Amino acid sequence: MAAPSYGLIATFDTTPDLYHAAEKVRDAGYRHWDCITPFPVHGLDKAMGLKRSIVPRISLCGGIAGFCTGMSMIWWTGAVDYPLIVGGKPLFSPMFAFPVSYELTILFTAFATIGGMLFLNGLPMHYHPVLKYEHIRRGMDDQFFLVIETRDPRFNLANTKALLEKAGGKNISELEA
């Protein structure tokens, strides 16, 4: 090939078509492939053989960090760095430290969740071969694509194309890298 190719892209019109095609591609043992859908299609993860997302683990770390930040900040500022008697309350108590720690837990969880999601998805990535596909607009709208990357060890232009055709893919074309 003259221009390096990113992979093959096939179009599907309905969710069931995509779903079944994905099952086939999965069963064919491909690893570097993807579905492009305008909305999260329920059950497609399973059809693609995706594992459960690890975002929750990152979130949990964020949450724990937030709570500890809150508690330790309040303890350090109030009881260690500058102890002041305020309203006869103790210098530190987890009770009054709780609301702020709680909020920080949530804040840090949110940061971790979003950051984790973006990180796992490799976003932001404003340039991507798929986005160069001329019909990509429909992929955000009402069509479904299935992309198999050339770097997949099983990728073979002819066989892969055949697989996609067999799975019901239309307009199968190559994507520029």
Strand 144-149 and strand 170-176: the pairing is: unpaired
Q: Which stretch binds other proteins (CB under 8 A): 37-45, 153-161, 163-171?
A: 37-45
The binder of other proteins chosen from 9, 47, 148, 167 (CB under 8 A): 47
The binder of other proteins chosen from 27, 123, 165, 170 (CB under 8 A): 123
**What amino acid occupies position 135?**
H
* 82 binds other proteins, rule: CB under 8 A: yes
The binder of other proteins chosen from 24, 49, 55, 161 (CB under 8 A): 55
* 29 binds other proteins, rule: CB under 8 A: no
Separation of alpha carbons 27 and 46, rounded Å: 12
The binder of other proteins chosen from 104, 148, 167, 172 (CB under 8 A): 104
Task: Find the shortest distance in angstroms from Cβ 29 to other proteins.
Answer: 17
Cβ distance to other proteins smaller for residue 126 or 158: 126
Tokens of 147: 């992309």
Q: Which stretch binds other proteins (CB under 8 A): 140-148, 153-161, 163-171?
A: 140-148
Q: Which stretch binds other proteins (CB under 8 A): 85-93, 155-163, 165-173?
A: 85-93
* 153 binds other proteins, rule: CB under 8 A: no
Task: Find the shortest distance in angstroms from Cβ 158 to other proteins.
Answer: 25
In 3D, which of 69, 76, 26 has the Cα closest to residue 47?
26
In DSSP notation, 121-173 reads HT------HHHHSTTHHHHTTT-EEEEEETTSTT--HHHHHHHHHHTT-EEEE
Q: DSSP code of 42?
A: T
Cβ–Cβ < 8 Å for 50, 41: no
